[in-house]
Amino acid sequence: MTASRISLWVFGILALAFLLAPVLVILPLSFSAGSFLYYPLPGLSLRWYQDFLTSDFWLPALWNSLRLGAATAILAGGLGTLAAFGLWSARFPGRQAVMAVLMAPMVVPAIVVAVPLLLAFGPLGLTNSFWGLLLAHTVLGAPFVVVTVLAALAQFDAVQLRAAAACGASPTRAFLRVCLPQIAPGVAAGAVFAFATSLDEVVVVLFLAGPAQRTLPRQMFSGMSDSISLTVMAAAMVMVVLSCLLLLAVTLLRRGQKA
């Protein structure tokens, strides 16, 4: 192994340690028998997980997040796939501008997206509603689907669509029977990213959600603002586990796409 390769590995390990250190330091507190955020731990206990699973606030917030994330993955997956296919198959003036608009929610701060959505949804009665949150999260998650589907379409041979048309298939049937099965791993990976985006989002929820739309990140934010309870650490552990599962799902989908 050359010196440059060793240096690259060392830099990568240090960077990974820097990113993971805060998580690795905080999460053991969820098993603390005490009631405060401090080390050394006075003992080990599962009391905070019990509080999380039996609370009238935390568990419903988790279910709301999972339900919203699943709906976002489905809606963003469908709309993002159609948008990506349209951008891939059509060549029209302003295509790059359309692409930039679709990608904007990925790069602009969340509050910049939240304020216009609040002003737009208010007159339509979509604030303080599940559907308003779903549309907002779809706006944030769809760009990830567009990116992954475009990457999958880059490996798709458009001649197959022309062959299907020559055999009498309509454009819709050709897309569903020929193209979609081959780009399905990219669609699924984008949907997983959309789910993760919805699961993590808190700024838009603070602007648009009402009391009935309390998600897990919002509950964690409120828990740290009102009174610091180690139940927040248990909720953080749940979020980390879900994130790891989503990362594993994306890795398996990418391997399936390459195969």
83 domain residue, yes or no: yes
pLDDT tens-digit readout, 163-204: 888 888 788 888 888 888 888 888 888 888 899 888 888 888
In a domain, 145, yes or no: yes
Per-residue model confidence as pLDDT tens digits over 210-244: 777 788 888 888 767 666 777 888 888 888 888 88
5 falls within a domain? no
What is the pTM assigned to this prediction? 0.83
Domain count, the chain: 1
User: What is the tens place of the pLDDT at every residue in 65-102?
Assistant: 999 999 999 999 999 999 888 888 877 777 788 888 88
> At 157, which amino acid appears?
D
> pLDDT, tens digit, for every residue of 109-161?
888 888 888 888 888 888 888 888 899 999 999 999 999 898 888 888 878 88
Residue 140 belongs to a domain: yes
CATH number (domain holding residue 147): 1.10.3720.10
Of all helices (H) and strands (E), which one includes residue 146? Answer: helix 130-153
For residue 152, what are the CA distances in angstroms to 51, 108, 141, 145, 147? 44, 25, 17, 11, 9
**169 falls within a domain:** no
Residue 168: φ, ψ to 5°: 100, 5
Higher local confidence (pLDDT), 11 or 257: 11
Give domain status of residue 23, yes or no: no
The parent domain of residue 147 ranges over: 48-153+184-258
What does the alpha-carbon distance between residue 3 and residue 229 come to, in Å, rounded to a whole number? 48
Cβ(121)–Cβ(208) under 8 Å? yes
- 131 assigned to some structural domain: yes
Asked, for residue 117, whether it belongs to a domain, the answer is yes
